[in-house]
């Protein structure tokens, strides 16, 4: 049995790492190859390529950031369910840093495999699309390259992101003591009070500082300064980092409020209890999805606010219509580009739900032995998924509306009276529909797997 299997379990538990790495690498490869094709066909030489490369870099970095969050949460969830095994390894003489390095190696190797497969798929897809477009006359004949060297750099970035995520997600390994194996405890050790206080203070400081910078960006936008948008970007990053750092204090409370809406039947009561019983697990499950929804909503809200602001400018109808068409097309392109980050976040949500259900098979077996039917177990898991995903979608929408509207104000606040909220109703409705689909995807397979295990078999599983 390999070290990876001892610490991280089966390949099924590492499957999310490979899938996320593959999606991120394919995304990077497509953007890099597209920038290369457009640069080759541009008559102005390399200037367009540099501009497109810069834009592609920003979106690749966003996807990598989401990938790190999702993979780290996945690793954290897997380790949280295998603390008893890790404690036994510690009792047998294994050192915490050694086990942590084995986790990092496992995520790096799986990330490398997923990254290579994703890069190959991305390059093939980009080349096939380019061949079709050239054949149809949409793209001109030119000396296009089959692969760009930066694709390899994209794979390396994905592997580095997977390794970093393995390091971040495996922090719990260092807190497991051999005494846990002797006492039979399998729960995660609580964080120290001092550490929680420091985390809360750091989170509040970053959130407060970030929103002060956002207010500054709007003031700069009203003054017509070009630094306004840069300040808005900085404020968004700082405040979002603070929210990510303090998510464990906020997300469980929001999930608890949302879980009260799923009903009062026994499956609903248990779903509400499960959704908030483990605050860290709840945060792991939802935070990646919050980031994905926030990204899509931010771009859509920002572009909607720009369109609403420009509509008030004193220009002729023809010029107004042309600007509106340009902004509408730009909105569609930006959302299409950034949506892959939301797909990565959705994959992480589904995987985390599946892993947590697998880790609770003994609990589900106990419920079955006490009289819960298969339908009630499926209902409980579905309602828990509804509470988690609804909270993530709602919270992400609110953040996105704030960030997007503030960003638009920092750009063209000088030409608009008051503050303009960008509310993209069509995009919000699409996100809500996707949320329903996500609930079904996140609950259907784990629930089906959970009820296939008989109560006797489930009760034999070690706690």
pLDDT of 30-71, one tens digit each?
Answer: 888 877 777 776 554 444 455 555 566 667 777 777 788 777
- Say how far apart CA 129 and CA 212 lie, in whole Å: 45
Work out the mean pLDDT of the chain and round it to a whole number. Answer: 79
Q: Are 269 and 383 in contact (CB under 8 A)?
A: no
pLDDT of 452 > 80? The answer is no
pLDDT of 244-295, one tens digit each?
Answer: 888 888 888 888 888 787 777 877 888 878 777 777 778 877 887 888 899 8
- Say how far apart CA 234 and CA 213 lie, in whole Å: 7
Q: How far is CA 184 from the centre of its chain?
A: 34
- Say how far apart CA 345 and CA 201 lie, in whole Å: 27
Specify the pTM: 0.78
pLDDT of 327-371, one tens digit each?
Answer: 777 777 777 777 777 888 888 788 777 777 777 777 777 888 888
Look at the alpha carbons of 194, 200, 206, 212 in this order and tell me if their dihedral is positive or negative: negative
């Amino acid at each position: 049995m390999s070290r990876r299997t001892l610490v991280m379990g089966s390949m099924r538990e590492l499957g999310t790492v490979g899938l996320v790495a593959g999606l991120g690498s394919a995304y990077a490869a497509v953007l890099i190859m597209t920038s290369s094709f457009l640069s080759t066909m541009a008559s102005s030489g390399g200037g367009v390529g540099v501009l497109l490369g810069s834009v592609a870099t920003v979106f690749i970095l966003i996807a990598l950031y989401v990938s790190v969050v999702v993979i780290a949460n996945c690793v954290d969830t897997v380790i949280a369910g295998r603390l008893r095994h890790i404690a036994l390894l510690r009792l047998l003489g294994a050192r915490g840093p050694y086990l942590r390095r084995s986790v990092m190696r496992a995520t790096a190797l799986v990330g490398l495999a997923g990254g290579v497969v994703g890069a190959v798929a991305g390059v093939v897809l980009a080349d096939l699309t380019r061949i079709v477009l050239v054949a149809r006359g949409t793209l001109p004949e030119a000396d296009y390259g089959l692969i760009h060297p930066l694709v390899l750099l994209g794979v390396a970035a994905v592997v580095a992101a997977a390794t970093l995520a393995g390091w971040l997600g495996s922090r719990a390994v260092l807190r497991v003591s051999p005494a846990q194996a002797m006492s039979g405890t399998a729960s995660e050790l609580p964080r120290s009070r001092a550490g929680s206080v420091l985390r809360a203070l750091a989170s509040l400081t970053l959130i407060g500082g970030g929103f002060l910078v956002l207010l500054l960006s709007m003031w700069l936008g009203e003054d017509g300064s070009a630094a306004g948008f840069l300040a808005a970007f900085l404020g968004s990053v700082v405040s979002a980092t603070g929210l990510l750092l303090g998510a464990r204090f906020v997300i469980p409370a929001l999930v608890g409020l949302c879980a009260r809406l799923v009903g009062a039947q026994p499956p609903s009561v248990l779903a509400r209890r499960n959704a908030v019983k483990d605050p860290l697990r709840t945060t792991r499950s939802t935070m990646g999805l919050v980031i994905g929804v926030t990204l899509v909503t931010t771009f859509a809200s920002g572009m909607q606010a720009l369109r609403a602001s420009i509509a008030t400018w004193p220009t002729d109808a023809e010029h107004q219509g042309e600007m509106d068409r340009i902004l509408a097309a730009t909105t569609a392109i930006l959302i299409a580009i950034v949506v892959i980050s939301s797909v990565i976040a959705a994959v992480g949500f589904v995987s985390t739900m599946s892993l947590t259900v697998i880790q609770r098979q003994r609990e589900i077996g106990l419920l079955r032995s006490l009289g819960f039917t298969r339908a009630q177990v499926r209902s409980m898991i579905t309602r828990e998924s509804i509470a988690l995903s609804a909270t993530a979608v709602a919270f992400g929408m609110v953040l996105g509306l704030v960030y997007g509207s503030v960003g638009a104000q920092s750009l063209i606040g000088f030409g608009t009276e008051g503050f303009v909220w960008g509310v993209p109703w069509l995009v919000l409705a699409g996100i809500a529909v996707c949320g329903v689909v996500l609930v079904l995807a996140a609950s259907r397979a784990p629930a089906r797997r959970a009820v296939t295990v008989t109560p006797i078999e489930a009760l034999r599983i070690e706690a």
